[in-house]
Amino acid sequence: MNEIEKLTELFTQFPGIGPRQARRFVFFLLRKENGYSTMLIKSINDALQKVRQCSDCLRYTTMQHSNTRCRICSDTQRTQEQLMLVEKDTDIDQMEKSGAYTGMYIVLGGNLSLTGKKGFIREKELFTYLKNHKNTFNEIILALSATPDGEYTADYLITKFKETEGVKESKITVLGRGLSTGSELEYADSTTLVQAMKNRK
């Protein structure tokens, strides 16, 4: 494998990137001047050094020193009795921007799939967290996508919560669908999210 093939192969491992697009990335980098590639390499290095996964909410973020929990999870001013489950790291950013929620989070990392293919959530991590926070949460809010897979995942989790000690007493709510059908949290604006929080049930 020559250098071009090797780099192309690495880009094809990106989500949604096929061999042809990967090759275009490689030639883009080769043509690009003004130290772009050097900057890219440095940015990747910096991110890998400073960004770590939070041990509680499981999002990737810049961590202070040797902390294992992120700024949100270690903030004692936040509402400790509410937990919101989201799909992606960016969903937290959207929610925080809206100011509609001040509780804790867990990033599931995806959805289960109705067809059983490629579906994934961090189920083991979620239930370990809930075990360690037994009887902590008055409310667990499911803030998943308004898609068939999102709803399927919500139903699956609600069933499991009802069987889980220290959780089954919690109120389980689903984020009110001011969000239009098929939409993902990450694309919802602040007004919509505030409304969706009010309409949760």
Which amino acid, residue 88? K
Binding flags for Zn ion, 68-97, as an x/- string (CB under 5 A) = --x--x------------------------
* Residue 124, CA atoms < 13 Å, CB-side half-sphere: 1
Q: Work out which of 8, 56, 87, 157 binds Zn ion, going by CB under 5 A.
A: 56
Cβ 59 to Zn ion shortest distance, Å: 6
How is residue 98 written in tokens?
């809206």
User: What distances in angstroms separate CA 37 from CA 3, 7, 13, 29, 30, one per listed residue?
Assistant: 15, 13, 19, 6, 8
Cβ 143 to Zn ion shortest distance, Å: 15
Q: Which residue number, 2 or 66, has a Cβ lying nearer to Zn ion?
A: 66
* C-alpha–C-alpha distance, residues 125 and 128, integer Å: 5
Q: Which residue number, 54 or 196, has a Cβ lying nearer to Zn ion?
A: 54
User: Does residue 193 belong to the site contacting Zn ion (CB under 5 A)?
Assistant: no
Among residues 104, 175, 187, the alpha carbon closest in space to that of 144 is found at 175
Cβ 19 to Zn ion shortest distance, Å: 36
Q: Which stretch binds Zn ion (CB under 5 A): 26-34, 53-61, 137-145, 163-171?
A: 53-61
Q: Which residue number, 73 or 121, has a Cβ lying nearer to Zn ion?
A: 73
Binding residues (CB under 5 A) for Zn ion: these are: 54, 56-57, 70, 73
